[in-house]
Amino acid sequence: MTFGSFQAGRKSELQKRPYLAVVGGLLLLGAFVSSAEARARPRPLVTRFVGVFQPYNEKDAGSLQTLTFVHKGHSWLFKVERVNVIGGGRDPGTTLLNRIFPPRLSISGPQEFFASLENLETMGKRFALQGWLDLRVRTFRIVEITEEPAEGTPTPSTPPTPQEPTDPAASQPKPSL
């Protein structure tokens, strides 16, 4: 091996270094951008809506605090009384309703529940619906449904304790002599 061939080999390695640096930099940049996109992508929110179902009426669909729920061609109005984002920080959910515009969501969940919504007796009852709200695709996947007492309805208190039975003869006045 001559000194000239050694210099030629070293020179070709030095010429490859800028290309390797550029390729390495692009790989790092790509990894950084994709991880930033993954963190910025909104995840579905665990949300709890409390409110009353009403039959769909186009005039009332634009009312404040009202969502239109759609499932397999059926539509209902849901008059929202309260919204809670579970693990969502200090926001009680009021700004969440503002972010749902137009106020229309596709819902999914237990089929028995949707069958019960066809019954007019269900309309006007107060429900708490908890599930996954995905604002990107405008869906609400209901996981838990509970019927709640209407607001202002007194909760049943403890029944009065029965008094000791009294002897009818003891409760009558004794004749005076």
Whether residues 26 and 60 share a domain: the answer is: no
What is the tally of structural domains in the chain?
Answer: 2
**155 assigned to some structural domain:** no
Domain contains 3:
yes
pLDDT at position 6 is 54
In a domain, 159, yes or no: no
Q: What is the pLDDT of residue 98?
A: 86
Q: Which two tokens stand for residue 175?
A: 């004749």
Tokens of 120: 């007019």
Same-domain check for residues 35 and 51: no
Clarify whether residues 32 and 87 are in a common domain. Answer: no
Q: Mark whether 19 and 58 lie in a shared domain.
A: no
Residue 17: give the domain boundaries.
Answer: 1-41
The model carries a pTM of 0.62
The per-residue pLDDT for 42 is: 74
Q: Is residue 142 part of a domain?
A: yes
CATH code for the domain of 89: 2.40.50
Q: Examine the domain organization and report whether 21 and 73 are in the same domain.
A: no
**pLDDT attached to residue 43:** 86
d(CA 62, CA 59): 7
Q: What is the full per-residue pLDDT of the chain (177 aa) written as tens digits?
A: 555 555 555 556 656 667 666 666 666 666 555 444 444 557 899 999 999 999 999 999 988 899 999 999 999 999 999 999 987 666 667 788 888 989 999 999 999 999 999 888 889 999 999 999 999 999 999 999 999 987 665 544 444 444 444 555 555 555 555
Answer yes or no: are the C-beta atoms of 76 and 55 closer than 8 Å.
Answer: yes
